A = this chain, B = another copy of it.
Amino acid sequence: MGKGTNKQILLAETPKGKLSPSNFSSHEGQIPTAKDGEVLLKIKLISLDAANRAWMQGATYRSAVEAGTVMAGGAIAEVVESKASGFAVGDLVFADTGWQEYAALPAKQVQKMQKMDPLSHLLSVYGIAGLTAYHGLLDVGKPKVGDTVVVSAAAGSVGTIVGQIAKLKGCTVIGIAGGDEKCAMLKSDLGFDHAINYKKEPVGKALRAVTPKGIDVYFDNVGGDILEAVLFGMNNKGRIACCGAVSQYDGEAPAHGPRGIPGLIVVKRLTMQGFIVTDFIDQQEKALSDLQAWVKSGQIKVREDILDGLDNTPQALIGLLAGENIGKRMVRVS
C-alpha cells in the first residue's frame, strides 16, 4: 500500500460555541503504510457519538482531539495489510481510526470483531451503544422487577436499548425524547409505557403524571434541566446512572448543575454514579450473549440511522447533537 489518496476529515479548529461545519476541513492525504506490528485498515462504518463533541472540549477519559488533526472516532474496518501477528488481510476490526478512509494502527489498538450481517449491528446493539445500555442499566442503575425506570435521549442509540432491556426486566419504562415521531415510535414499536416530548411539554409535570409511584432508576444521557426535573421525582434510595450530559457538550464551558444537588441527593439518599462502558470490559462476553439472545427473540429491536459518504460525517455529528437521529447513527465510508 502507501499508494493512492486517503481522504480525511480534520478538526480544523476547536469549536468555541456550537459545533458547525466550518470547524472541520477536508484533506487529501496519502494511504499510509503498515509498519512492523501495525495493520492497515480500510474504514467501512464510522460511529457517531455525542461523546465525539465532548472530546473536543478537553481531556476526558481520553486526551482531547487537537485542532489540525484527523477527527477521532470509532469505526468498523477491514484489514487490508498486516504486519502484526494475529491479524490477516480480510479480518474485520473495531478501532479508533478517526474520520478517514484508511488508517495504519498498532495491533494493540485494534480489536478483532466477528463478521455478521448486518455489519452495522457491531456498532449499535453489539457495540459501545448496546454495551453501554446493558451495563449502565443493569450494573449501575440496578432496576428491580416493578421499578419505574426513566431514560433520556430515549430514541438515541443507547436509550432505545436501555428502555427495551428495562421492559424485559419487568419495569415500567418512561422515555424522554425530542419530537412526537420519536415518542410514538418508542411506545408503538419499542414497547415503552410512556414517552415525553421534552420540546413540547414541561418534563417535571409530565413525569409526575405518569410516575404515580415515583422514579426508582434514571438513566441520564443528557444532564441539565432534564436531570433536574427527574431529580425532584426520584424515590428515596433511587439510582441515577450518569452516562452522558449531551445538553452540556455543545457549548462553551460546563454549566452549573441542576438545582437541588446535593440537597436532594442527601434527603432522598440518592446514588449518582458515573460510568464508562470500558469499566465493564471483563463482563463483556455475558453482556453480548444476553444481547444476542434478546435480539434473536425479538425482545430487542435494533434501530439504526446510516448515512453515506465520509464527507457527510461532520453534518452527521452536528445533526446528532441536535437530536435528528433515531437509533444508532453511523456513516458508511466504503
Contacts and interface: CB of A to CB of B under 8 A. Distances in A.
A227 B260 CA distance: 13
B259 A267 contact: no
Contact of A258 (B223, B245, B256, B269): B256
Given A269-B279, A275-B269, A258 B257 contact: yes
Interface residues of A, number: 37
Interface string A266-284: 1111111111100100000
Interface in A17-57: 54
B255 A258 contact: no
Interface of A: 54, 60-61, 220, 223, 227, 240, 242-245, 248, 253-276, 279
A261 B263 contact: no
B263 A223 contact: yes
A310 to B, nearest CB: 29
11 contacts: A54-B267, A240-B262, A244-B266, A254-B260, A257-B259, A257-B262, A265-B274, A266-B275, A267-B274, A270-B272, A271-B271
A102 B60 CA distance: 58
Nearest to A253: B259
Among A261, A265, A268: residue with most chain B CB under 10 A: A261
B263 A254 contact: yes
Contact of A256 (B248, B257, B268): B257
Contact of A266 (B261, B265, B267, B276): B276
A279 B240 CA distance: 19
